[in-house]
Amino acid sequence: LSKAFSFQKLNFFFQCLSYKCEKYGIEYVKADKWFASSKICSCCGVKYDHSVQPEGQWSLKIREWDCVGCNSHHDRDINAAINLSRWVK
């Protein structure tokens, strides 16, 4: 019951956010929940592959990772923010 209640609250939040964006002329965009924003390299576009990464299987414990395509070092959250900002455009 609590999981359903929290999902309902989250859905209500998104409805309010959508309404406010529309009211003030701001474009409201919601990314698909399966969009791998933190796993895609924001420099070259290569997706994190646990079979070739020394960090192993992707988990929330991985805060930083190195791209095997271009050797750039990424903070997971900053990389996700960059990818999401590009996805919107």
Domain hosting residue 56, numbered range: 31-88
Q: Token pair for residue 24?
A: 């003030």
57: DSSP letter: S
7 and 21 share a domain?
A: yes
Our count of domains for the chain comes to: 2
Predicted pLDDT of residue 1: 56
Across the range 55-63, mean pLDDT stands at: 79
Higher local confidence (pLDDT), 73 or 52: 73
Whether residue 60 is found in the same domain as residue 41: yes
Same domain, residue pair 81 and 41: yes
Number of neighbouring beta carbons within 10 Å of residue 38: 22
**Does residue 64 surpass a pLDDT of 70?**
yes
Asked whether residue 45 falls in the same domain as residue 84, the answer is: yes
Outline where DSSP puts E strands in the chain.
64-66, 73-75
48-51 contact pairs (CB < 8 A, 24+): none
Flag whether the pTM goes above 0.75: no
